[in-house]
């Protein structure tokens, strides 16, 4: 009995001594508070400021060791990532982008940290508060009308095109991940319309990625998988459709579970602008990538549900609905090369123009970007149009839902053009009037390829 008594005294002494070992948590008045309406500020303050501000508010029990150490560590890490007390010094667009990330972290259950909510239930974001944040962000506000009337075909007027750069000469990222110049020939896995930052994206995969997507072996994705995500600014055309405008960046993810073990098994890289300048200023840029991909850990850190008919037991890991093209179509274009895409906000549809090998060869042979593309005999274009739906993984994004129509233009000998259209739930062949055939044929053939560096 005596020894157990001594034991408890020892524990009590250690406990008391621990309370005295107390590294501080720096606290100071906010220098540049995030600029949001009072209602939004109140939500962030009550649910997030404990960790993401310069004035931590601790509950009395957070002050008790050893819990205090853990809370302190969370606060310091959290501030390093995001500090609402200084965010106001950033441009409005950057503040908004952070709020989108915040909403998505909340929606995906990653924030506030669950170990914190367990002890501080009042920090859980209520459905009403989440809805208020979403309403405030309202991603689908209409884009400004085009300032310059674009030429006949409805293409947006682009700024002067930069001369193409040599892809082989592009520098590696700060973390050593090399640029892969072959990305332009990878196959499409999906397309997104991002209302949070008004961009369109192609998500492409190398052969290993495509095979994995087609067999449903995607979580984890096999070593050697590579993804490219290409982003363009959205630009409204004079025809009411929204097209890819200026090129923004390309991002690559390379799976190597051993080599990249410290960054979730993926090598990350982002190259910005037409000169493809590596992003960041040191290797720490990759924390941004892993931080924001963390909520989709259950999908091997991959956001995109690839458009494939492969079954998957994981929820929303593949996009079967968009892949439902009927077997009776004259061609299956989903793995052809995407040439461009556009969105029709009036019908809430998104479309991708695909080209077969001959179509892409014709484009490359004339890469000096003529006013309109010219396709050689043997070229086939396919315009797939889907209903849009909200991206289940990212508030502010939209992805293809069920197919609405597929149109084909075949270039025959002497450049004769043949048009066919398939519509409706079963994609049955339609029999459009000859006026409509003429109009759609010239529309498809005249679509300008999305610009690449």
Question: Interface with ligand HEC by CB under 6 A: which residues?
Answer: 47-48, 50-52, 74, 77-78, 81-82, 101-102, 105-106, 111-113, 116, 123, 125, 192, 194, 201, 203, 227, 229, 251-253, 268-270, 279, 285, 288-289, 291-293, 302-304, 394, 397
CB of 336 to ligand HEC, least distance (A): 20
Going by C-alpha positions, the residue among 240, 219, 235, 227 that lies closest to residue 340 is 235
CB of 399 to ligand HEC, least distance (A): 8
Q: For 372, how many CA atoms within 13 A lie in the half-sphere containing its CB?
A: 12
First to last CA, the chain: 79
Report the alpha-carbon distance of residue 299 to residue 315 in Å, rounded. 9
Nearer to ligand HEC, 51 or 382 (CB): 51
Asked if omega into 112 is within 30° of 0 (cis), the reply is yes
183-192 residues labelled b (16+ CB within 10 A) or e (exposed): bbebbbbbbb
CB of 383 to ligand HEC, least distance (A): 22
Q: What are the angstrom distances between the C-alpha of 46 and each of 103, 238, 406?
A: 15, 45, 50
CB of 209 to ligand HEC, least distance (A): 9
CB of 123 to ligand HEC, least distance (A): 6
Nearer to ligand HEC, 216 or 446 (CB): 216
CB of 269 to ligand HEC, least distance (A): 6
Residue partners of 59: CB distance under 8 A and separation at least 6 = 119, 120
CB of 124 to ligand HEC, least distance (A): 9
Q: What's the CA dihedral at 75, 110, 232, 172 to 10 degrees?
A: 60
Nearer to ligand HEC, 275 or 429 (CB): 275
CA 402, distance to chain mean position in Å, is: 20
CB of 289 to ligand HEC, least distance (A): 3
Report the alpha-carbon distance of residue 254 to residue 203 in Å, rounded. 13
CB of 296 to ligand HEC, least distance (A): 7
CB-based burial label for 368 (10 Å; 0-12, 13-18, 19+): exposed
31: left (phi over 0), alpha (psi -120 to 50) or beta: alpha
Nearer to ligand HEC, 187 or 194 (CB): 194
Nearer to ligand HEC, 110 or 150 (CB): 110
CB of 435 to ligand HEC, least distance (A): 37
* Inter-residue contact 269 to 251 (CB < 8 Å): yes
Nearer to ligand HEC, 196 or 407 (CB): 196
Nearer to ligand HEC, 99 or 445 (CB): 99
CB of 246 to ligand HEC, least distance (A): 17
23-53 residues labelled b (16+ CB within 10 A) or e (exposed): eebeeeebeebbebeeebeebbbebbbbbbb
Report the alpha-carbon distance of residue 73 to residue 68 in Å, rounded. 8
Nearer to ligand HEC, 105 or 170 (CB): 105
Q: Which two tokens stand for residue 285?
A: 């840029």
CB of 423 to ligand HEC, least distance (A): 28
Going by C-alpha positions, the residue among 281, 269, 197 that lies closest to residue 227 is 269
Nearer to ligand HEC, 201 or 448 (CB): 201
Nearer to ligand HEC, 209 or 353 (CB): 209
Nearer to ligand HEC, 129 or 407 (CB): 129
CB-based burial label for 60 (10 Å; 0-12, 13-18, 19+): exposed
Nearer to ligand HEC, 107 or 362 (CB): 107
Report the alpha-carbon distance of residue 81 to residue 285 in Å, rounded. 11
Q: Which residue has the tokens 């502010």?
A: 396
């Amino acid at each position: 009995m005596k020894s157990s008594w001594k034991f408890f005294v020892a524990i009590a002494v250690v406990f008391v001594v621990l309370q005295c070992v107390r590294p501080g948590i720096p606290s100071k008045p906010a220098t540049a508070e995030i600029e949001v309406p009072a209602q939004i500020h109140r939500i962030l303050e009550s649910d997030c400021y404990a960790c993401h501000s310069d004035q931590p508010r601790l509950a009395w029990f957070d002050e008790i060791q050893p819990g205090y150490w853990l809370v302190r560590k969370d606060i310091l890490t959290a501030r390093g990532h995001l500090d609402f007390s200084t965010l106001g010094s950033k441009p409005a667009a950057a503040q908004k982008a952070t709020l989108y990330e915040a909403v998505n972290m909340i929606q995906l259950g990653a924030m506030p940290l669950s170990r914190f909510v367990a002890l501080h239930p009042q920090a859980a974001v209520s459905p009403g508060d989440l809805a208020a944040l979403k309403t405030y962000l309202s991603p689908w506000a209409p884009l400004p009308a085009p300032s310059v009337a674009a030429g006949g075909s409805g293409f947006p007027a682009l700024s002067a095109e930069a001369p193409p750069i040599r892809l082989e000469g592009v520098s590696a990222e700060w973390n050593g991940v090399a640029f892969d110049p072959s990305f332009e020939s990878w196959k499409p896995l999906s397309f997104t319309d991002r209302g949070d930052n008004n961009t369109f994206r192609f998500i492409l995969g190398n052969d290993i990625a495509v095979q994995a997507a087609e067999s449903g072996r995607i979580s984890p994705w096999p070593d050697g998988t590579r993804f490219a995500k290409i982003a363009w600014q959205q630009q409204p055309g004079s025809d009411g459709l929204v097209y890819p405008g200026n090129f923004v960046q390309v991002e690559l993810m390379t799976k190597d579970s051993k080599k990249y073990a410290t960054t979730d098994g993926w090598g990350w890289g982002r190259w910005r602008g037409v000169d493809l300048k590596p992003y960041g200023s040191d290797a720490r840029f990759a924390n941004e990538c892993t931080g924001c991909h963390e909520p989709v850990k259950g999908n091997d850190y991959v956001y995109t549900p690839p458009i494939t008919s492969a079954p998957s037991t994981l929820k929303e890991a593949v996009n079967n609905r968009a892949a439902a093209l009927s077997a009776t179509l004259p061609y299956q274009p989903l793995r052809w090369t995407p040439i461009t895409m556009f969105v029709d906000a009036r019908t809430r549809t998104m479309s991708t123009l695909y080209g077969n090998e001959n179509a892409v060869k014709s484009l490359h042979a004339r890469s000096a970007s003529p006013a309109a593309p010219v396709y050689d005999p043997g070229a086939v274009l396919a315009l797939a149009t889907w209903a849009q739906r909200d991206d289940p993984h990212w508030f502010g994004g939209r992805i293809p839902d069920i197919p609405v129509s597929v149109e084909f233009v075949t270039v025959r000998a002497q450049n004769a053009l043949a048009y066919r259209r398939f519509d409706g739930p079963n994609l049955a062949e339609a029999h459009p009037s000859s006026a409509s055939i003429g109009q759609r044929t010239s529309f498809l053939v005249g679509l300008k390829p999305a610009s690449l560096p």
